[in-house]
Amino acid sequence: MTVYIDDRDENIKLPVRMLDEIEDAEDAVEAVQELVDRLTPEQKLSHTAIDIATLFAERAAALTAVVDTNSQDELLIDAALLHQVEETVKQAAGMVGEELENNGVDVDRKLPKTIILYVGDRTSFVAKIDPDVLTTDVDKVRVETDRFAITFKLEDLAADLNDLAADQDVYLQFKAEEVGDSETTAKPQMLLIATPKAAGNKADSGKLAVRLTMPEGGITNPITLSLSSEAGESQYQTMTLNDAATPSKFNPVTITMDSKTITSGAYTTETNEVDFTDIEGLSAEMQAAIKNLASKGVLVGTTATTFSPEETLTRGQIAILLSRVLGLYDERATTDYTDVTKANWYYVGAASCQKANLMSGVGGGRFNGDAVISKGEIIAAGGNVLMRYMDYETPANLELYLGRYSDDVPTWGRESIAVATQENIVVYRTDGQFLALSDMTRGDAAIVINRLFSRIW
């Protein structure tokens, strides 16, 4: 099977079936080499293509480091377990990274070292994470069944794991279990699973849905839930949480819908196309961004039928958008901003952003949620998200990117705006100016947030 990803009016053809054959680092390099050979010279310079290539390389390296844990009812994830394949994945990640770089694909972000714990065709599992996993050199642990998976980024769990470190035999516990309804459609099966030997043809009745139970007291940062994509890539396919659309997107490497979440509940996939009567006539990218984010539950219209693309955005609205995109929208979060109360419609967004340090206040203990937010603030926030949550590096030569603008970029945002520019998060003006203090329309912001969303894995 070949998965096509549009980029610069061309297709990136991912050789996903080669991933089924990976057993060692040499196999992983061969798969990455095949991908690189399919890239055009233009795509090798496209940061969208580079991001997808990095995602593919991460998966290729991870498939060299699979631990079969199918016999365990409760999965204890500790340093001893990860040490079994830690050196294997480190070697593989280094080799596939070199393969990309040697073939002209300059990776913009850290290539994660991911270990796969395969639990077979189980319909449920309990994962107990020991704080000592933080002593390893592993970046992510992915617990994978034949139809769904949960990925833990260990750095994101550090705050919660460190709270447990003083207590012996206390773990961060997650439970995932399949639940079904009365539909007679067969459960989809993940196209790519941990090993080719595990590929089966199980097709139980009932629609695939997974109930996720977080640790008591919740978690600080999100984990990633992946569900089999029912029909491959679908433009308006989304994951739902307790029947409501939740931010999620199609992963072209694992052929899954992926959602970052901190919330317990029942998750499944649905088609959820949302349209507005006042976006016809906008650019194709702006229409696609608005409809995509609306279908995922990231943004809403100004009414049930209108989006109002020419209106401006407030700080409160951006707080909600950023926290939703990152899976950090936390109904339990509280804030000490003096001008934000629970009566404010953006309370949860402001509280979530303060908790996660996504946005700063305006001074004097205030958030000023009803104030119109400037373009510079939005772009800088997007760049900060890429650096903090996706390990993008600050460009060595800031002027290579900031020099694209004919006016000055504010000193306080130079690094983050350079990253956002490098990753094509910015909507450019025809006159070449950045205009950091200008307002940004809802339509332009939809493009920025949608481009940012595409980079969050």
Q: What is the pLDDT of residues 333-371, one digit of tens each?
A: 999 999 999 999 999 999 999 999 888 889 999 999 999
Q: Which tokens belong to 309?
A: 């693309």
Structural domain ending residue among the three candidates 219, 243, 271: 271
Q: Are residues 188 and 209 in the same domain?
A: yes
Of 282, 346, 353, 315, nearest to 440 by C-alpha is 315
Residue 199's pLDDT is what?
29
Residue 2's pLDDT is what?
38
Domain count, the chain: 2
Rounded to an integer, what distance in angstroms lies between the CA atom of residue 325 and that of residue 299?
Answer: 10
The answer to whether residue 278 sits within a structural domain is no
Q: Are residues 242 and 151 in the same domain?
A: yes
Burial degree of 190 (CB within 10 A; 0-12, 13-18, 19+): buried
Q: Are residues 294 and 267 in the same domain?
A: no
Greatest C-alpha distance within the chain: 63
The answer to whether residue 240 sits within a structural domain is yes
SS3 state of residue 295: helix
Residue reference for tokens 């199918």: 70
| E strands present in 236-357 | 237-241, 244-246, 249-251, 256-261, 265-271
Rounded to an integer, what distance in angstroms lies between the CA atom of residue 278 and that of residue 258?
Answer: 30
Q: Are residues 192 and 93 in the same domain?
A: yes
Q: Are residues 250 and 294 in the same domain?
A: no
The answer to whether residue 260 sits within a structural domain is yes
Q: Are residues 323 and 426 in the same domain?
A: yes
Rounded to an integer, what distance in angstroms lies between the CA atom of residue 64 and that of residue 32?
Answer: 13
- CB atoms inside a 10 Å sphere around CB 381: 23
Residue 12's pLDDT is what?
85
Residue 410's pLDDT is what?
94
Residue 203's pLDDT is what?
34
The answer to whether residue 93 sits within a structural domain is yes
Q: Are residues 372 and 265 in the same domain?
A: no
Residue 311's pLDDT is what?
96
Rounded to an integer, what distance in angstroms lies between the CA atom of residue 169 and that of residue 381?
Answer: 39
Structural domain ending residue among the three candidates 245, 271, 297: 271
Distances (CA, A) of 80 to 23, 27, 134, 402: 22, 26, 12, 46
Q: Are residues 242 and 334 in the same domain?
A: no
Of 380, 321, 375, 376, nearest to 353 by C-alpha is 321
The answer to whether residue 99 sits within a structural domain is yes
Q: Are residues 304 and 202 in the same domain?
A: no
**Residue 83, domain extent:** 3-271
Q: Are residues 189 and 320 in the same domain?
A: no
Q: Are residues 159 and 246 in the same domain?
A: yes
Rounded to an integer, what distance in angstroms lies between the CA atom of residue 163 and that of residue 172?
Answer: 10
Q: What angle in degrees, to the nearest 10, is found between the helix axes of 47-62 and 79-102?
A: 140
Residue reference for tokens 């100004």: 302
Quick one: what percent of the chain has pLDDT higher than 70? 90
The answer to whether residue 279 sits within a structural domain is no
Q: Are residues 239 and 319 in the same domain?
A: no
Residues of the chain with pLDDT under 50: 1-9, 182-205
The answer to whether residue 277 sits within a structural domain is no
Residue 185's pLDDT is what?
38
Residue 190's pLDDT is what?
39
The answer to whether residue 326 sits within a structural domain is yes
